[in-house]
Amino acid sequence: MSQKEKSDYFNIAIRPGSTPYFPGMLSNEAMTSQKMFELVGARFEKAQIVVNFADYSNGFWSEADLLRARKTLFEKQQKHNQIQEYTDSIMGRYEKIMSILENYYTLNDSAKTKQTTIAVYGEICDHYRTLCCFAYVANILNVVRDVRADLAKYVTAEEKLDEYVLELTRNPGANFIYDHDLELIEILDSIDKTTENNLAEHSKKWHSLFMGSIGKTKPYDGINKRISMFREMTSAERTKKKEEYLETLNKVRLSQDRLENNLGLSDETKASVSIVRDIILLKETRKFCMTRIISYFDKFAEDLGGLYNLSASLSRNIMPEEYTNGYLMTGQKITESSAEAIVNSSFYIFENGIGKRYLGEQVPQMIQKYDITFTGDVKVVPKGGSQQFKKKKTYKGFVACLGKYKGPVRLVEKLDDLNDFHEGDVLVTSITTPEYAVIFDKIKAMITFDGASLTSHPATLAREYKIPAILGVEDLYSVLKNGDIVEVDANNNRIRIF
Amino acid sequence: MSIILNFDEISKNDVAKVGGKGGSLGEMTQSGIPVPTGFVITTQAYISFHESELPSKIQKQILAKFDSLGLDRVAVRSSAIAEDSSSASWAGQFNTVLNVNREGLIDAIMDCWQSSNSETVKYYAKRNDISEDQLALAIVVQKMVNSNVSGVVFSINPVTGNKEEMMIEACYGLGEMLVQGMVTPDNYIVSKYDLSIREKRISNQTQKIINTVNGTETISIEQSQQSLQKLSDEKIFKLSKLVMLIENYYGCPQDIEWAIEDDELFILQSRPVTT
């Protein structure tokens, strides 16, 4: 990777101290560096840190990496293998953590010493951090866009193109994983097979997020509905359902094959398409594993916190090394108040695959390390970035969805204009109505003039599609024309015209 | 099997028959939350009749049920099974017909059924991997609330994702203007910790939608009222308490439509927040 490219993708991610997860991981994949710095800033009150990063990628490979791989069939095959490898590795780490927990729970109470519990935690953290930093594929949309451009060469009827892209890139296997259905069926079958009716016993075996719902002690929306659906089925019906799923997978695969052949795709294009499907599966696998581990881990966190009278949520914010030493990195003994204090005043940096905790006073050092300069005591901007935009007029409104995007303007003054909307355009319109649904996939940022309700349908849709959106801006129909470049910075409620 | 169910006959397990909206209204009615009274025409009716004429026997049943409510006007809303999926909101994709009288009822139902046939609905379904049989619509027929003030609450801050606060938006008249995004409403941020008001943004509102004998109408608002706070602090508190109740009941953040008629607070619908 050349020097230039490297600087486009900071291999660093920062998050504030308290998240419900383990030390060293991000709380939210969609979080930008900027948002994280804002959160860090908000935590320290004095320093409102606002940073305009290019982008970040917290992982071993990135979107840029992926796009570079599209050149030859050989490179594609390599990438395909790599993605498979990552997917397997994630599953491997997941299974490892599950077996560690499983073993821990088969121990006698006398064998569950403080040392054992801490050692188990250390081991889990280790696997978990590795699992987390796999597969931060920065933005799959750009890869899909690339494939779309490739497919356009084969399709004469342009209106069919999106349909083909949708069909060829979907991976229903990923959906089933996310639905948890297969595992749910397995759990319910296992309960059916025993005469044991005591749900608490089962929950020891599975200690999963489903158990609360099956035992009806804790409502878990969504999953509840699937559980009641499966519970009403007999075991044979469930098996049938499982087979149906696998059959559907097969059917989709076959229909994709047919379409690929009908369109006469070259081996290279076929490889591009399959990479997208692989990535979807990879991302869903990762999501699946992380959700599941966190839910299983809850029970363990109580044991862990119990050693120091910490709540379960506080317990997972203490680093394994701190448990081993018995002292926090501030030098204080681990107590509820000292633990809470450090969680509220520290942040984690995930750097080149290693998560580490830093204290508040280290913020300026880190900022310096990553080439960001302070201006005054309340704002941080990137070097050279503060002068650039001073003279341009900016506009503001009401932010409905956070995010930032710079791209060409497309004015939609009447519904016919929707036909001219291209992938990557910034939508500028008085108001969106249900007819706009057909372009929501393509919109990368959105500016509207009439009304600024943040709970309205347009606002909800913008968030659903993760479109940076500023509503209730002054009428820009006469100010902007199609193709003008604007930057919609919804993180700072600011629209700039270039 | 009955194709018409009163709200108080509906349980959690009926979503396949009454759709997401219908199911939630049934549940709320049964847990004592002030929901305007009404009934649901189940998806069975849609499946049997949406492509043909509605048999006069069924029409009679529906009208008899309408008469039993003792109301002049109702709101007729679509309630899709797919709507209940927590990954897609379907925001605004299906029809709602407001302020319908006895004569207009059957047409309004047909109108809602038609909306599942639109191109945009098909596209949206495809994008979210939702099969066509999940597009069956139940119809909610519900007392039309003559709102003086109405709006929406998200029991989290939907923009920042902050789960410790809720966002209330309020406008004069019917909530349609707000829901469609045509008005800039008042915006209040309330702490879920102690229900105190953290932020208030009062907006100027010049027009509102009201019920009339012919449906609904957009009218101007008196100058002296335009820039007042739409919902009093006391009412914000009252609404917030209800929101907490509803969120606790469902166990996840909710997107709630509410309205006030003559000082009485109604919850019109509640569904999980999708984003």
For chain B, domain boundaries: 4-143, 149-272
Residue B238: predicted pLDDT:
93
| Residue count (chain A) | 498
Residue B170: HSE in the Cβ half-sphere, 13 Å Cα cutoff: 25
Beta bridge partners of A412: A429
- CB neighbours (10 Å) of residue B170? 27
Determine contact, residues A490/A404, Cβ cutoff 8 Å: yes
Please name the member of B12, B178, B181 whose beta carbon is closest to the beta carbon of A431.
B181
Number of cross-chain residue pairs from A and B with Cβ atoms under 8 Å apart? 113
Q: In this structure, what are the phi and psi dihedrals at residue B171, rounded to the nearest 5 degrees?
A: -140, 165
Entry field: residues in chain B: 275
Q: Can you tell me the distance from the alpha carbon of B195 to that of B165, in angstroms, rounded to the nearest whole number?
A: 9
Model pLDDT, residue A345 = 63
Closest-approach residue (CA) in chain B for A440: B124
Interface of B with A in 41-60 (CB under 8 A): none
Question: CA-to-CA distance for A415 and A433, rounded, in angstroms?
Answer: 9
Asked if B129 and A448 come within 8 Å (Cβ–Cβ), the reply is no
d(CA B20, CA B153): 18
Please answer yes or no on whether A221 and B158 come within 8 Å at the CB atom. no
* Closest C-alpha among B146, B152, B217 to residue B178: B152
Distance to chain A for B275, nearest Cα, Å: 5
Are A253 and A270 a contacting pair, CB within 8 Å? no
Q: At what angle do helices A73-106 and A114-133 cross, to 10 degrees?
A: 160
Residue of A nearest to B115 (CA): A434
Say if the Cβ atoms of A454 and B272 lie within 8 Å. Answer: no
Q: How far apart are CA B4 and CA B40, in angstroms?
A: 6
Partnered with residue B190 across adjacent β-strands are B166, B197
Q: Does B188 touch chain A (CB under 8 A)?
A: no
Question: How far apart are alpha carbons A117 and A323 in whole angstroms?
Answer: 10
Structural domain spans, chain A:
3-58+317-369, 155-264, 394-497
* B202 CB within 8 Å of a chain A CB: no
What is the 3 state secondary structure string of B49-80? HCCCCCCHHHHHHHHHHHHHHCCCCEEEEEEE
**ipTM score assigned to the predicted complex:** 0.75
**pLDDT for residue B12 is more than 80:** no
Please tell me which of A90-99, A117-126, B29-38, B72-81 the model is most confident about, judged by mean pLDDT.
Answer: B29-38
Which chain B residue lies closest to A223 (C-alpha atoms)? B86
| CATH code, B149-272 | 3.30.470.20
Looking at residue B180, its pLDDT comes to 86
What's residue B151's pLDDT? 96
Mutual angle of helices A172-179 and A235-263, in 10-degree steps: 160
Q: Locate the chain B residue with the closest alpha carbon to A435.
A: B120
User: Does B184 touch chain A if contact means CB atoms closer than 8 Å?
Assistant: yes
> What does the DSSP 8-state code read for residue B14?
G
Cα gap A6→A4, rounded to integer Å: 5
Q: Out of A435-444, A454-463, B123-132, B180-189, which region has the weakest mean confidence (pLDDT)?
A: B123-132
User: Which of A441, A452, A459 is opposite residue B127, by nearest beta carbon?
Assistant: A441
Q: How many Cβ atoms are within 10 Å of A414's Cβ, its own excluded?
A: 8
> Residue B59 pLDDT > 80, yes or no?
yes
Chain A residue nearest residue B84, CA to CA: A222
Beta carbons of A457 and B151 less than 8 Å apart: no
Could you tell me which chain A residue has the CA closest to the CA of B86?
A222
> Measured between alpha carbons, how far is B128 from B147 in angstroms, rounded to an integer?
35
Q: Which residue of B has its CA nearest to A457?
A: B91
pLDDT at residue B123 greater than cutoff 60: yes
Would you say B28 and B35 are in contact if contact means Cβ atoms under 8 Å apart? yes
Please name the CATH architecture into which domain A394-497 falls. Answer: 3-Layer(bba) Sandwich (3.50)
Residue B202 has what pLDDT?
92
Question: Within an 8 Å CB–CB cutoff, is residue B15 touching chain A?
Answer: yes
Taking only residues 163 to 182 of chain A, the set having a beta carbon closer than 8 angstroms to any beta carbon of chain B reads 166, 170, 172, 175
- Which member of A220, A399, A438 has the closest CB to residue B251? A220
Q: Is B84 helix (H, G, I), strand (E, B) or coil?
A: helix
Residue A306 to residue A302: CA distance in whole angstroms? 6
- What is the rounded distance in angstroms from the CA atom of residue B89 to the CA atom of residue A313? 31
Q: Is B189 helix (H, G, I), strand (E, B) or coil?
A: strand
Task: Answer for the pair B141, B112: CB distance below 8 angstroms, yes or no.
Answer: no
What phi and psi values does residue A465 have, to the nearest 5 degrees? -95, 5
Q: Decide: B219 and B205 in contact? Cβ < 8 Å.
A: no
Give residue A7's identity as a one-letter amino acid code: S
Q: What CATH number has the domain spanning B4-143?
A: 3.30.1490.20
- In angstroms, the separation between the Cα of residue A434 and the nearest Cα of chain B is 6
Which pTM was predicted? 0.47
Dihedral (Cα; A440, A441, A446, A451), 10-degree rounding: 20
Give pLDDT tens digits along chain A (498 positions): 233 232 222 223 333 222 223 332 333 333 344 444 444 443 333 222 222 222 222 333 344 455 555 556 777 777 778 778 778 888 888 888 888 887 887 787 788 888 888 888 888 877 776 666 554 443 455 567 778 888 888 888 877 887 888 788 888 776 666 556 777 777 777 777 665 555 555 555 554 444 444 444 444 455 566 677 777 888 888 888 888 888 888 888 899 999 999 999 988 888 888 888 887 777 777 767 776 776 677 778 888 888 888 887 788 778 777 888 788 877 888 888 888 877 666 655 555 445 566 666 665 566 556 544 333 222 333 333 333 333 347 888 999 999 999 989 999 988 888 888 988 899 999 888 888 888 888 899 999 988 889 999 889 889 988 999 999 898 888 888 888 889 999 988 889 888
Give the number of C-alpha atoms closer than 13 A to the C-alpha of residue A18, restricted to the C-beta side. 15
A427 CB within 8 Å of a chain B CB: no
Per-residue confidence band for B168, with pLDDT thresholds at 50, 70 and 90: very high
How many Cα atoms sit within 13 Å of B61 on the Cβ side?
15
Q: Mutating which of A217, A396, A454 best tests the B interface, going by the most B Cβ atoms within 10 A?
A: A454
- Find where tokens 């959690």 sit: B12
Cβ <8 Å between A455 and B177 = no
Check if B153 contacts A (Cβ < 8 Å): yes
Q: Are strands A354-359 and A346-351 parallel, antiparallel or unpaired?
A: antiparallel
